[in-house]
A and B are shown apart, each in its own frame.
Chain A
Amino acid sequence: MSSWVRLLLDSKRLPRQLCGVATWDQMNETLTEFWSRFRELHPTHEIFNRENVDLSCAVPVFSHTDEGRSYKHQPLWVLSTHGCLGRGTKEYVDKGKHLAPIKRRGMGLNFLGNTWSNQFIFCTMLRAVTVEYPGSMTTLLELYAEDMAMLADQGMTNSRGDRRVWLVHVATKGDLPALSKLGGFKRTHSHVPKAGSSKKACRGICHMCLAGKESSGPGDPFFPYEDTSVQPKWEETVEVEDPWDTVPAILRGLPLCPEKKASFFVTDVWHNLHLGLAKHFFASSVICAVERLDTWSMDSVDSKLQWMTNDFKRFCRDKGMQPYLSEISRESLCFPQSRACPVGKWSKGLVATQFLQYFEDFSKRFIVGKTDDLVLTTAVTCSCFMDFLCFLPFCSCLCY
């Protein structure tokens, strides 16, 4: 990464490609404000103890790891770095939000632009090589961490030596399997219980807290991950217990929040929603609508799904959208029989986005004010009664 930084400094592209601003002065102004906001949220971050680091030249960056498909579908592992800040999303720029005064500016996300120009590759490795040389990935991660630690501590100058920047590696991101591999977690999403009971208690499903940890004996507390209240039971366990036995290689030498090391591994909201919950939500909601609404003029599930497919195509036409997957059927919802649990059978996030927008439109026409079925009304309208129940513990807390 230090070679990339030197190249970007020498070609005067660093403010544009790592911070999403046009000039060095704008970068100084943006980064000063960035670290002031960051300090309010993470006052104990070790970067604030380093007196040699000029925060107006300290660029926050994320790293990313994932596997792509190479020749004959062989997995190819890629490690790259990119700036936390960029030029923004299309909506952000279209609304002119990048023109706001610095104190009110949201600072653009790193979305616009060719990814070759704002993502900086560190290495690629075929899985076959990882298998043949078991320590190779750790060695690469150690080298990367060493380089990032040097960039955070001493920084990097341009060839003339008159400009210096520091790079602060604030988090690493990836999908859940990639993060769990990178951190060597002993509590991961794959530990989720799949049966009603088991001999061995679940150790937890989250690297940041003890959610999903089952009681292994009397007096041992249980923190259900299904608790979705505003103040969940697992809240008290956030960053209480490290999710690893040995500190992951990628963390070595980095300035971190000492009490929030596990939160360095951030999960992706887009994956969690569009390639996770939304697949279940849409599929189950459609099946519930098919089974529970009494406005249908046809009898069979297949004909109702066919009607929905046609309705979805009409919706896309009206909105000027190109449907990525246009069929709502038993196959696309993985629903061969009524006892099955429906789940979307697609692997593109865009499909979930389009289907969720369609379901919103469908519910306005056929659910809101048209039925009193509890599941369907809850799917579109959150139950206020449940919120009230959730609120009761806080009332007792107030009394205390």
Chain B
Amino acid sequence: MLLVNKTLYMFHIFQAYFQLGKAKSVFAINTAVSFMYGQGYWIRSDQAKKLSMWMFAFLQGFTTCADICLREGYQRYALMPKLHFLHHSAWRLLQESRRGRFAVNPLSESVQCQEDFIGRPSRLSRRVDVRLIHTRVMERALICAQEALEVSDGDRRGLILPN
């Protein structure tokens, strides 16, 4: 059983490398980003594998460029910790695509909308009495939330409404 599992794993890795060989680095990352935005929270395993390979292609292209430039004596393509965290996303996608029918879209962990949200109470906090800032911000946040909830009742995007 162990041997079968190992062989399957190696086949999976081989398949992954075959796909990686065909990928292009800047094209790969642009494709990966557009692909992630077109998906939901879950991505089918075969597609997740493809997505992780696009991400790997970019990461490996980046480190290869850094290596060549360094050998030639130029400081280009600085390696930074964010490289490793992006690598974790690609690595996890590959692991999850092996484990189940679906893998989690890395974009679900993005804070793009939350960055927008953080700006809202921050903006409110610039318009209230600084001595009562915490109370006033929470009170006004509740008013804004109530208004937004009422508006969202009429928003049908992405919903399957019953007949």
Binding site for B on A (CB under 8 A): 11, 13, 16-17, 20-23, 26, 34, 37, 40-41, 62, 64, 66-71, 76, 78, 80, 82, 84-89, 91-93, 95, 97-99, 105-121, 123-126, 129, 171, 173-176, 189, 192, 205-206, 208-209, 211-212, 225-226, 228-232, 235, 266-273, 276-278, 280-281, 284-285, 287-288, 339-343, 349, 353, 356-357, 359-360, 363, 374-375, 378-384, 386-387, 390-391, 394, 397-398
* Cβ B10 vs Cβ A397 within 8 A: yes
* Cβ B63 vs Cβ A390 within 8 A: no
Question: Which residues of A lie under 8 Å from residue B101 when comparing CB positions?
Answer: 37, 40
Given the known inter-chain contacts A41-B104, A124-B125, A380-B24, please indicate yes or no for A387 contacting B109, CB distance below 8 A: no
* Cβ A68 vs Cβ B82 within 8 A: no
Nearest 5 Cβ contacts at the A-B interface: A106-B40, A68-B122, A87-B158, A40-B100, A276-B82
* Cβ A378 vs Cβ B25 within 8 A: yes
Given the known inter-chain contacts A106-B105, A269-B86, please indicate yes or no for A93 contacting B114, CB distance below 8 A: no
Complex Cα distance, B88 from A94, in Å, reads 30
Given the known inter-chain contacts A106-B41, A126-B133, A360-B26, please indicate yes or no for A382 contacting B113, CB distance below 8 A: no
Question: Which residues of A lie under 8 Å from residue B123 when comparing CB positions?
Answer: 68
What are 23 A-B residue pairs whose CB atoms fall within 8 Å in the complex?
A: A13-B152, A16-B152, A21-B159, A41-B96, A41-B103, A76-B125, A86-B158, A89-B37, A97-B40, A116-B141, A116-B148, A117-B149, A126-B133, A226-B83, A232-B91, A270-B111, A276-B80, A280-B78, A375-B69, A375-B76, A382-B58, A387-B17, A394-B13
Additional A-B contacts beyond A40-B100, A382-B64 (10; CB < 8 A): A13-B149, A70-B125, A116-B117, A119-B114, A280-B80, A375-B68, A380-B25, A382-B60, A383-B61, A384-B21
Question: Which residues of B lie under 8 Å from residue A112 when comparing CB positions?
Answer: 155, 157-158
Question: Which residues of A lie under 8 Å from residue B134 when comparing CB positions?
Answer: 124-126, 129
* Cβ B111 vs Cβ A175 within 8 A: yes
Complex Cα distance, B126 from A341, in Å, reads 38
Question: Which residues of B lie under 8 Å from residue A353 when comparing CB positions?
Answer: 33
